[in-house]
Amino acid sequence: MFPSDGDRTEVDPAFLLHDDVRQTDGTRPWVLLNMISSADGATAVDGVSGGLGGDADRRLLGTLRGLADVILVGAGTVRAENYRSPRTPDDRVGVLRATSGRPPRPRLAVVSASLSLDPTAAMFTPVDPGDPPPLIYTTAGAPTDNRRMLAGVAEVVGAGEGGHVDVRLVMADLFRRGAGVVLAEGGPSLNHQLVDAGLVDELNLTISPLLAGGTAKRILAGPALKVPAGLRLDRVLTDDGFLFCRYLTA
């Protein structure tokens, strides 16, 4: 990857991203939102994001995942993208994790008000038997049968009432568990909730050199924010026509 200012000195994203400062006020984790969109704003092609990406985007995503303590995702995205347990980071990122005293892999956390998840899905198969099960954040009113089916493959945590998961409660629980950096991967509805709650500290947005058309959702899906969230552009990298933008909340 190369800086976008014309400097053709290639940078290693593993070390570049690792050196970024990610520190909050000590009351919650740093929340890093990572998304990809086409040049015209589409977040998916044929219902999934994979059609927008390329090798460079996948390398960057792998690095971000490897540097996170928790990967947070909405249930709809889990089903659409056929999520799996977080993989072991490559050697460079793995060494960085080990030297900071963190587990070999990040933990997966899913937001699901209804608990409509298949207990035989790939996300419930750990990379190693010693890995903790996924966290599933739900509401007090979630169907009892669904809760019972998932109890053997996940840790189900109540985080809201009235059919709505409160993302503030989710972050508070993750912080109590020792999470310092949470990587949120969508979907757009979850992204909107996090931004609306003032919980997003960083946005990593990959802009794919494609025009997709259609009516795909943008990276946020929901009612207009009462006050638009300000962003400050921190860095832009480029590779094979893709732009990799790092924004910090203003």
DSSP 64-107: HHHH-SEEEEEHHHHHHHT--PPPPPPHHHHHHHHHTT--SSPE
For residue 22, give the amino acid letter. R
pLDDT reported for residue 139: 95
Domain definitions of the chain by residue range: 59-249
- Distance in angstroms (rounded) separating the CA atoms of residues 186 and 21: 22
The token pair at 205 is 């947005």
pLDDT tens-digit profile, the chain (250 residues): 566 666 667 888 778 888 888 989 899 999 999 999 999 999 888 777 778 888 888 888 888 998 899 999 999 999 988 999 998 887 788 888 888 788 899 999 999 999 999 999 999 999 999 999 999 999 999 999 999 999 999 999 999 988 899 999 999 999 999 999 999 998 999 999 999 999 999 999 999 999 988 877 889 999 999 889 999 999 999 998 999 999 999 8
Residue 7 Cα distances to 10, 11, 192, 247, angstroms: 8, 10, 35, 20
pLDDT reported for residue 205: 96
pLDDT reported for residue 231: 97
Main-chain phi, psi angles of 34, to 5 degrees: -120, 125
Non-local (6+) Cβ contacts of 25 within 8 A are none
pLDDT reported for residue 1: 59
Residue 192 near residue 165 (C-beta atoms within 8 A): no
For residue 146, give the amino acid letter. N
Which residues make beta-bridge pairs with 246?
Answer: 204, 235
CA atoms within 13 A on the CB side of 226: 4
Residue 96 near residue 67 (C-beta atoms within 8 A): yes
CATH topology (fold) of 59-249? Dihydrofolate Reductase, subunit A (3.40.430)
pLDDT reported for residue 8: 63
pLDDT reported for residue 55: 86
Angle between the 91-99 and 55-67 helix axes, to the nearest 10 degrees? Answer: 20
